[in-house]
Chain A
């Protein structure tokens, strides 16, 4: 069962699903953000795909929108697959996948902490690393590092 045949099965179930392989980059399956949960459910529980581990959950700020990359891995068939979605920058909301993969809770809290992306359905979404009262989302490209407390900003040479 080659990968293309499997991909065709997915094509029928999901509307705007496309296969991307840019130059000098790994192949990704691009899908829009509101049908992510459906796709991951199929990929995990369907015996055909059986991707049972979310190895890593990456968010990237592409200046005009965010990209979420789900790096799945299947222990039985030793294959890994990357799913990617694009989220609009100012209304950054996506449904949470903690029901499917429990490991995503920490990742989602971190991405919310660093990028400000809201994960609907995640029970206690809170800042993971930054202190509770921190303002702004540090890993965004437009985040200005002007906090006077940071070491190299303070001009005082003791």
Chain B
């Protein structure tokens, strides 16, 4: 091991093309090999948990989408689930189906963006445009449903803001039918590509033990062989009624994380089509009945778990009977993925940094909150 003064200390970020937000990595390079890496985070800290303590429940709801702006529905659903449990607000079935439908479409959009930027890190430019072309369809569907493309503010306690537009379900069904061929296109270009395989197979291996040690969840954990999918293990909303399977792979390297996420896109499509069929067949009262702005939630505390695209998102809510939450704590997936990054980067080649970091699907608003 060369003594540390020969190492070249460089730092990547916080403004950098491939750090998916504002992460700063201080790397010590020995020629081509990375000897040590220290992530410095906090550049995107907006004080989500402090904001909750001086805002009412309804005021805090729009900011919840911004915890992770690529999967806003998951965090809104976690927060609404917690408040509805504490305030004993009943939510009828069609609202649950709408929530699962929009969440799965959001997961598909988030995975598409991940695939595009991951391939861009590795140097292939065209998959990015194909993924964004497909993601654009989902975003315009969300825009016609909720009014905005990324910051939805569509869920409220006890239902959703407004009903589904008339032709929305048909457009979604049409989109779902067109997607499998597109995903097959991505597989043709990427999966067996010798350069991609040689750059990601056996790189950045997370063993099952270290994954649990660093409490990695979501696709990263399932790629290491642990079959932990909160939609299956602890079914919330109506996941127990839906018929789908959770994908796992064995050796937990970058290639398997890629494989798990691409298969998960197909699972999302299956769930979306089931939800669309159900919603088409039975109408239900969807708009939330709670209209008074100063909602009082009785004292109590609750942890609601939701399977977000980047790992488990659990929202701990403690209320003290007033109309403002007493304490909100967000547990997000990328927070722990950044923590395991230095361990993965040890003694790897410098170009592998992009292959490993891209495959972990880390996004910084989730890490800094």
Contact = CB atoms under 8 A, between A and B. Distances in A.
B300 A24 contact: yes
A130 B49 CA distance: 14
B314 A71 contact: yes
A129 B336 contact: no
Contacts of B217: 55
Mostly helix, strand, loop or mixed at chain A's interface? Answer: loop
B316 A101 contact: no
Interface in B303-341: 303, 312, 314, 316, 318, 326-327, 329, 331, 335-336, 338-339
A55 B336 CA distance: 10
Interface string B31-62: 00000000001100101011001000000000
A64 to B, nearest CB: 14
B303 A24 contact: no
A60 B302 CA distance: 13
B49 A139 contact: yes
Residues of A in contact with B, size category:
20 to 34
Q: How large is the interface on B (under 10, 10 to 19, 20 to 34, 35 or more residues)?
A: 35 or more
B237 to A, nearest CB: 18
A109 to B, nearest CB: 10
B302 A106 contact: no
B50 A139 contact: yes
Interface in A46-98: 52-56, 58-61, 69, 71, 75, 78, 82
Given A56-B316, A129-B41, 17 more contacts: A22-B300, A25-B300, A25-B302, A55-B215, A56-B329, A58-B329, A59-B329, A60-B329, A61-B327, A71-B314, A71-B316, A102-B213, A102-B339, A103-B213, A103-B214, A128-B41, A139-B50
A141 B54 CA distance: 11
Nearest to B54: A145
B42 A54 contact: no
Interface string B292-308: 00000011111100000
Interface stretch (B6-14, B90-98, B144-152, B226-234): B226-234
Given A60-B327, A106-B335, A24 B86 contact: yes
Contacts of B314: 55-56, 71
B238 interface: no
Nearest 6 interchain pairs by C-beta: A24-B300, A56-B331, A103-B215, A129-B42, A129-B45, A102-B213
A56 B303 CA distance: 10
**Which of A22, A53, A106 has most B Cβ within 10 Å?**
A53
B304 to A, nearest CB: 11
B137 interface: no
B302 A128 contact: no
A72 B368 CA distance: 23
Nearest to B331: A56
A22 B320 CA distance: 13
B49 A103 contact: no
B341 to A, nearest CB: 11
A130 B41 CA distance: 9
A88 B228 CA distance: 37
Contacts of B53: 141
B223 to A, nearest CB: 15
